[in-house]
Amino acid sequence: MLIDFHCHFPYKYGIVCTDSPETPPSRALVPCIGLLPDKWSPQRQETLIQKLRDNPDLQIGEVGLDRRFQDSMSMDDQIRSLKQILEAGISMDRSISLHCVRATGPMLDLLSSLRFRPDSILWHGFTGSPETARQLYSMKVIISVGPRAKESLKTLLEANPHLVLETDYEGTDAEEHRGLLESRYGKMALETDMTVSEMKAHSQYMLDLFSTTH
């Protein structure tokens, strides 16, 4: 099967994420609920944490830092809130899908201050450098790569062997989603020494590391 490590479409073989803590995905291999800074409030953060307490199968995604939203939530407040959510998730042994836009330094600092299960945190939509990918591998953080990646998949895979693939698809068309996912796996096969079959096996292995509940 082709696993999509981050999408917003109800795909049965996907890690399906939302930034709405009130409405968990209805269909997913790994269902996640999250909250981004542009929609944050103390009440919504508490809703997120309470939903996790009430639903042991729910994981966290997506949550993170985003400099585009500083007018509605300062970076200091974003970091403080994210740390609280991550600490709650780690204490419940939940897997976590991270969102990070123009905040690589603060995110790395935050992750380095936490103790979490290896490979239980996934940096979604990774667009960083091989050096950052390598640093995340040393921290046991998975990088999930979508269409916006700036470096070649071969370069990133060499830097972080725990790289996985995603579409970040937000549409409603199953055929369109499937086409995007197949193109991601095909691109990986073209740019690396891995076959699609080997990539599928790698994806399953990484899913087993990332989530203990699927």
β-partners of residue 64 are 99
Q: For 160-169, b where at least 16 C-beta lie within 10 A, e where not — what string? A: bebbbbbbbb
Which whole-number Å values give the CA distances from 187 to 75, 153, 205, in the listed order? 35, 8, 20
Q: Provide the whole-model pTM.
A: 0.96
What is the band of 214 on the pLDDT scale with cuts at 50, 70, 90?
low
Domains of the chain: 4-210 (3.20.20.140)
> How high is the mean pLDDT of the chain?
96
Instruction: List, for residues 104-156, the tens digit of each pLDDT value.
Output: 999 999 999 999 999 999 999 999 999 999 999 999 999 999 999 989 999 99
Task: Evaluate if residue 204 carries a pLDDT over 80.
Answer: yes
Instruction: List, for residues 84-97, the tens digit of each pLDDT value.
Output: 999 999 999 999 99
- Please report, as a single letter, which amino acid is at residue 17: C
Q: How far apart are CA 137 and CA 180, in angstroms?
A: 26
